Chain A
C-alpha cells in the first residue's frame, strides 16, 4: 500500500465503516421486525398448539436431521413445506399422515436411513403438525422451487 495511505486512515475506515454499517443493520432490523414481518410471518395464526409444537420440534432435535426453511441438517427431507407435500394443504389429512408416519418409525429397513421413534402422544403429534402447518404459511419469497423441498 502507498505510504500516503496511513495507519490512522485505515483505522478511521474501520471505525467509521463498522459504526455506519452496524447502525444501518439495526435500522433494517427494526424495519424488518416491526413493519414487514407482522404481514409476512402469519403470526395471527400462532396458536398455543403451534407454540407447543415448536417446543416439541426443539426438544427432539428434529433439526439435527431435517432442514426447515432450508436450515438445519441435510440428512432428511425439508419440512417447511411438508404440510403441502404430504398433507396436500389439508389440516386433517396432514394430521393423520403425521400420526401414521411417526408411529411407523423406525422402519428398520437394513441399510436405509433411520428415523427414531420419539414416543409422542397423539396430542403431541397434532401440536407438531400444527407447528409445521403454521411454518408452511410464512411468506418466504416462494422458496423452495418445487414441492420436493
Chain B
C-alpha cells in the first residue's frame, strides 16, 4: 500500500462481505421455499426473501466496487485520496441506508413501506431489482455522485492511467444510468423498455468496464507485466463489451412490446456478447504466462483466473444458450434464466470483487506480499467450494429449466402442464440445487474463516528480470 488513504477501502470490503453472507442466507431460504412452499410463511414470504437476496447482492457489489476504487485510484494516480473523510462519511451513510432498507423489507409490509416512504409522490418501487423505496434510490444517487466527485478529484490531480480512466468511465455510466430507475411511466411496455437501461446497461455494459479495470490493475500488480501491454488488452476488451453489449440490450426487447427488428438485432449482437468475456480469459492467462515475477499471493491469482473463466461460462456460454430469439421464445422467464443469472453474477461480479479483496486486504492488514500459506490454502478451499457449488447450482437450475420448457412451454395449449404442475415435476432438481446452495454456504464460511488466520507471505520472487516499477 503506497498511500495511507487507500486504507479507507477496508470498511467497504468488510461490510461487503457481511452483506454477502446475508445474501447467501436468504438464498438458502428461497431455495427451500421452492420445495417447501410454506417455509417461513407468512413471516418471510418468498417475494420478501427474494428482494433481500437480490438487493443485498446489488448493494454489496456496489460496496465492493467502491472499495476497489478507493484502493486502486490513489495508487494509480500516485497521490492521496482527495478526501478520506468524505469516503468515511459516505461509507456510514450508505451502510445505514442499505441496512435500514433491508430491515424495512423484512419488518414492514411492502405496501406499508411504499406508503410511509411516500412512493405516491414519485412512484419507483415494486419493479424487479428496483424495489428500494424512492428515498433510498435518491440516497444511492447522492452517495454515487459524492463518491465520483471524490474519486474524480483524486484522479485529476495525479497520473492519468488507462485503468483509472476506464474505471471512472464505468462508474460515471453506473451513476448516469441509475437515473433511469426514477423513470416509471404508467405504460408498462415503456416502463420495461427503460428499466433495462439500468439493469442491462449496468451488468452487460458499464459494469464490464469496472470489472475490466479491476482485473487489469490486479494483473499489473501480480504479474509485473508491462502496463502498456495490459492497457492495450483492456481497451480491446471494453471495446468489445460495448460494441456487442449496447445493441445486445435488444435481447431483452423480444417479448415486451418493441418491434420485430429487435429479434434480429438482439440475437446477433448478444450472440457476440461472450467475446469480451472470452478475451478476458485469454488476457488473464496470457499475462500470467508472461509474468515477470512469482507473486506470493497465489490466492489472489487464483481468483483473477477464476473470475475470467466463470464470467465467460456464466455470462458468455450460459447467456448464449438462450439468447437467440427462436430459443428464447421457449426459454424466456424460465429456470434457464435463473441458471444464467446465478453463474453470470457470481463469475463476473462476485468473483472480481473477491479478487481485489484477496489482493488488497492482506496489504491493508500489513501483509504486503499476501497472507501466510495456511490462510491462503483455506481461502483457496473457499474458492473451490463456492465455485464448484455454483457450477452445480447452475447445472441443476439448467436441468430444471430444460424440463420446465419441455413440460410447460413446448406442448400446445391444452396439452402443456400448468406452471405449478410443472414445478412439482421438477422438484428433485430444486432439492439438488438447495444442497448445492448449502455447500456454497459452507464454502463461504471457510472463505470468511481464512481472514482470521495469522501469518504473512515472504517477498515476491522475480522470474524474468525485475518487474515494472508499477507492480
Contact with B along A17-37 (1 / 0, CB 8 A): 110011011001100110011
Chain B residues, Cβ within 8 Å of A68 = 188
Query: Can you name the residue of chain B whose Cβ is closest to the Cβ of A66?
Result: B47
Contact check, B257 vs A58: say whether CB atoms are below 8 A apart: no
Chain B residues, Cβ within 8 Å of A65 = 45-47, 50
Query: Can you name the residue of chain B whose Cβ is closest to the Cβ of A115?
Result: B45
Q: Write the nearest CB–CB distance from B255 to chain A, whole angstroms.
A: 4
Contact check, B46 vs A112: say whether CB atoms are below 8 A apart: no
**Most chain-A Cβ atoms within 10 A of its Cβ — which of B51, B250, B257, B337?**
B257
**Most chain-B Cβ atoms within 10 A of its Cβ — which of A69, A109, A111?**
A69
Contact check, B47 vs A57: say whether CB atoms are below 8 A apart: no
CA distance A36 to B263 in the complex (A): 14
Query: Can you name the residue of chain B whose Cβ is closest to the Cβ of A108?
Result: B38
Which B316-338 residues have C-beta < 8 A from chain A?
Answer: 329-330, 332-335, 337-338
Contact check, B235 vs A140: say whether CB atoms are below 8 A apart: no
Contact check, B235 vs A74: say whether CB atoms are below 8 A apart: no
B238 in the interface, Cβ–Cβ < 8 Å?
A: yes
Contact check, A106 vs B42: say whether CB atoms are below 8 A apart: yes
Q: Which of the four size classes fits the interface of chain B?
A: 35 or more
Chain B residues, Cβ within 8 Å of A73 = 46-47, 50, 128
Contact with A along B19-54 (1 / 0, CB 8 A): 000000000000001101110011001111011000
Chain B residues, Cβ within 8 Å of A135 = 188
| Given A17-B242, A148-B417, A7:B235 Cβ within 8 A | yes
B247 in the interface, Cβ–Cβ < 8 Å?
A: yes
Q: Write the nearest CB–CB distance from B118 to chain A, whole angstroms.
A: 12
| B contact residues vs A (CB 8 Å cutoff) | 33-34, 36-38, 41-42, 45-48, 50-51, 110-111, 114-115, 119-120, 123, 125-128, 131, 162, 184, 186-190, 192-193, 228, 231-233, 235-236, 238-239, 242-243, 246-247, 249-250, 253-263, 265, 329-330, 332-335, 337-338, 408-414, 416-420, 422-423
| A contact residues vs B (CB 8 Å cutoff) | 1, 5-7, 10-11, 13-14, 17-18, 21-22, 24-25, 28-29, 32-33, 36-37, 40-41, 43, 46, 50-51, 54-55, 57-65, 67-78, 106, 108-114, 116, 118, 131, 134-135, 138-141, 143-149
Top 10 nearest A-B pairs by Cβ distance?
Answer: A64-B47, A58-B126, A70-B333, A113-B37, A143-B255, A10-B235, A14-B239, A41-B189, A77-B419, A36-B259
